[in-house]
Structure formats: structure tokens, C-alpha cells
Structure 1
Amino acid sequence: MTRTLWDSTVGKKAIMAVTGLIMLGYLVAHMAGNLKIFFGPGEFDGYAHWLRTMGAPVLHEEWALWIVRVALVAAVVLHGVSAYQLSRRDIRARPAGYVHRRARASYATRTMRWGGVILALFLVWHILDLTTGTVHTGFRPGHPYQNVVDTFSTWYGNVIYITAVLALGLHVRHGFWSAAQTLGVGNATRERVLKTLAGLLALVLTAGFVSVPVAVMTGLVR
């Protein structure tokens, strides 16, 4: 049964839909956590500390955080591999391409593949920048607020982050709608509601994530 699900086109689309929704839930929570930076270093650093101790005293320090990380890595890998394999199947099915080059889908639809690549590269940079500090000059372990301010005090930190967030917005807008279609949206009324919800989610996530570097650039957060 598992083998059939993974091998079939419908199965891969279902896996992409489920893993996409898992990642979307994480993004909403992550954005909400990021916005705590507007309440000052005490609030933001306290939230970062809570992430490492959540689940205590049942779980040891960082156990719950690592469970979340492993689940997210699994979702990202399954999502990416499924997307790549579906893309290859699509290319093999239409090797000659279309005779007429008329746009067949929205801008977000046509940039989903490149958007996924941009987000994957950004994820690596983001971890090396604010989690391990590998590419972050002056990184201070245990001081997440200051590390975030330092990152967004550089032009390249802002360019990388904002570019990735814009790609994320397009990805979420189309991805949420695609997931709803794959899992079954029902009648036309539900389709309209879900399309509207997809747009709102993309807008809220984009605005929420971008607000942090903008706040640092304008001196609202420092």
C-alpha cells in the first residue's frame, strides 16, 4: 500500500499536499514567534529559551525542539522529492513542449519550481546564519535578539531574507490552493473561499516575516 502510494502520481500529490500543510502550520507559528521581537529583547530571548525547554519536565532540554526539527526535515525532504519526481514525469509526458507559448497558469504557478529552489537554498543559509552562526560574523550564542538585529543590519541579510519571503508568499498562495484541490475542496463555493484564504495566508505570512527586517532597517527594532 505504501509503495503504491509513493509510486503513483496521485500519491505523490497527496504527500506534497500533507507535507505542505505541515510546513504551513510551522510557518504560521514561526511568524508569530518572530513578531515577539517587537516586545523587546527580554520577550524575544525568553521565547527562544522556551523553545529549548518546551515539554519539560517530561522531556529533557531540546528534546521537543529536535522532534519538531526531525518532523520538519522529513516533511521538507518528502515534499521536495515528490515535487522533483512529479516535475520529471511532467517533462517526460510532454517532451516537445507547447506549440503556442501562451501563459497557461498564474505567475505563482509558473514560478513554483524556482520558488522551491530559492526557499531550499534560503533554509540552508538561515540555519547557518541564525542557528549555528557559521556564516554570521559576531554571532552570540544565547542572544537571539541581538543576532537577528545584527543580521538585518546588513544589506545582504535583508536582500536574502526579503527575496526568500517574497518567494514564500507566491509558494504558499499556489501551494495551499493546490493542496486543497488534491485533498478535495468540494463545491464551487468552497473553492472560492479557499482561493481567498490562500491569498490571505500568503499576504499575512509575507507581511509578518518582512516586518522584522523592515523594523530593524528603520530603527524601530534595535
Structure 2
Amino acid sequence: MHWTAAGPGSRLCAVVTTVARGAGTAGGAVPARRRQRVPSVLLKYVMAVTGAIMLLYLVLHMIGNLKIFLGAAALDDYSAWLRTMLEPAVPRTGALWIIRVVLTVSVVAHIVSAIVLARRARAARPVRYTHRQPVQGSYAARTMRWGGVIIALFVVYHLLDLTAGTLNPNGVHGAVYDNVAADFAPSHWYATLIYVIAVIAVGFHVRHGLWSGLQTFGRSSAATQNALKGFALVFAVVLTVGFLSVPLAVTFGLV
């Protein structure tokens, strides 16, 4: 019997081809999901927890910096205390190194989680829109990526400047007050400018990150959402002003 192109044979081939394609798609979808060894929701929790750790450090760091307004002795004594903290339970500088390790792990986990989530978001929409309608969102939300880059670069500079003393004009170990005074002197205005830009970037990052982190742990009403946004904004402003008060006070001769 001769089958025509439109006959049962062609229909059978079409059915077999369709089933094969469907099986291939279904089979391919499972490994794609399996490749996501860490669920996205877990990565969001990692970002929230590590963000909270870094935020706590920022608050304590800001409080320590404000001791400059109490004089050189207060700031230098505070710096020395950090190195003897928890003695004799831990060796000298032991607690400080524990804090550094926890912060380093938190920063790495935070950055890696952010990169993976961003890549998954792009992969979920492989074809870009020809024309994207404007989407409501804060300025901080749209600038989290470059803000994070600025902060990362600043952390490296800050460690070389006021921790290692390599880039500091004074660079004397233990003389924290003098190092800060030399760093933000009027003649060293570019260091102050770098610090101001970085701290403002931190403020935007904290504002959006704090609000996003609170969302990760549950949903709430519209009124609560507005309250959380307001809290995140006030918190970020206080943190930014607290950090900026030190370099600006030195630059303008207030300390």
C-alpha cells in the first residue's frame, strides 16, 4: 500500500517526532533544574543573613569612629582595646581575626549569591524586550550593582589606607587619631572625596538591602511595607551621616 505525504505514515511520523521532542525537552529540563544545586530562595536567605552580619559590623564600626570627637586618647585606646578584646580567653588580636574571618566569609557569600541570582534572573528571560515599559523602583534598587562595585573597591583602598597604613600619609601603627587626621587633612582632599562617594554608595546599598532583607523573611501589608521602607531609609541616613561626620569634621578643622 502506498502512503502519501498526507497519509497515515506522515501523521505517524509527526506524532513520533512530537513525542520525541517533548521527551527531549522534559528530559533536558530536569538536569537544568538539578544544575541549580542551591535553590534561589536559599541564596536570598544567605544574602539576608550575611547582609545583617555586615550591617551589624558597620554600626559598631561607626560607633567606634565617633570616638574621635572624644579626643586622640579615646580613639587610640579604643583601637588598642580591639586587639586585646576577649583576652585571656583568646590570644592577642584573636577576637579581631575572628571578626575579620566572619566578615570575609560573609562578603564572599553575599557577592557570590548576588551574582548567581542575577545570572538566573537573566537566564529566565533569555530574550530581551525590544521596548521595556518603565518599572517603578527606587534609585537604590537600580544602582545596587555599581554601588556594590564601588563599595568593594573602597574596602580594598580603606584597608590599605587605615588598616595596613600603606596609603596613609602618616601610617604609624597604633596612632589611629593621627592617621585619620593626616588622611582627611585639607591638603589630602581627594581621600575625603573618595570616602564621601563610597559612604554615600554604602547608604544607598544599605537602604535597599535592609528593606530587601526584611522582605526575605516574610510578606506583610502595604502599611507595614511603607513602615519598613521608612525605617530602612532613616537607618541608612543615620549610618551615612555618622560615617561622613568624621572625615568632614577633620577636613573642616572641627577636630
Moved more, 128-137 or 91-100: 91-100
8 Å contact kept, 2:50–2:106: yes
Which residue does the alignment assign to 2:161? 129
Structure 2 vs 1, CA of residues 30 and 5 (structure 1 numbering), >3 Å: closer, same or farther?
farther
Which residue does the alignment assign to 1:10? 41
Kindly provide the CA deviation profile for residues 125-152 of structure 1, in whole angstroms up to 9, marking residues without a partner as x: 0000011112223311110111111111
In structure 2, distance between residues paired with 1:176 and 1:90: 21
Name the aligned partner's letter for residue 12 of structure 1: L
Kindly provide the CA deviation profile for residues 44-70 of structure 1, in whole angstroms up to 9, marking residues without a partner as x: 001101111110121211000000110
Is the partner of 1:150 in helix, strand or coil?
Answer: helix
Structure 2 vs 1, CA of residues 125 and 6 (structure 1 numbering), >3 Å: closer, same or farther?
farther
Is the partner of 1:7 in helix, strand or coil?
Answer: coil
Which residue does the alignment assign to 1:140? 172
Kindly provide the CA deviation profile for residues 86-124 of structure 1, in whole angstroms up to 9, marking residues without a partner as x: 111122222333322524421100000111111000000
Q: Aligned to 2:118, which of 72, 87, 90?
A: 87
Name the aligned partner's letter for residue 196 of structure 1: G
* Structure of larger gyration radius: 2
Name the aligned partner's letter for residue 83 of structure 1: A
TM-score (normalizing by structure 1): 0.93
Which residue does the alignment assign to 1:166? 200
In structure 2, distance between residues paired with 1:5 and 1:33: 41
8 Å contact kept, 1:108–1:173: yes
In structure 2, distance between residues paired with 1:67 and 1:6: 29
Answering whether residue 102 of structure 2 is matched by residue 102 of structure 1, we say: no
In structure 2, distance between residues paired with 1:189 and 1:168: 26
Which residue does the alignment assign to 2:244? 210
In structure 2, distance between residues paired with 1:199 and 1:138: 36
Q: Which has the higher contact order (CA 8 A, sep 6+)?
A: 1
1:193 positional shift: 2.4
Q: Which runs of 5+ in 1 are unaligned?
A: none
Q: Aligned to 2:94, which of 63, 88, 94?
A: 63
In structure 1, distance between residues paired with 2:37 and 2:58: 26
1:6 positional shift: 6.3
Q: Aligned to 1:176, which of 210, 215, 220?
A: 210
Task: List, as ranges, runs of 4+ consecutive aligned residues in structure 1 with deviation greater than 4 Å.
Answer: 3-6
In structure 2, distance between residues paired with 1:209 and 1:185: 32
Give the aligned CA root-mean-square deviation in angstroms: 1.8
Which residue does the alignment assign to 2:148? 116
TM-score (normalizing by structure 2): 0.82
Which residue does the alignment assign to 2:232? 198
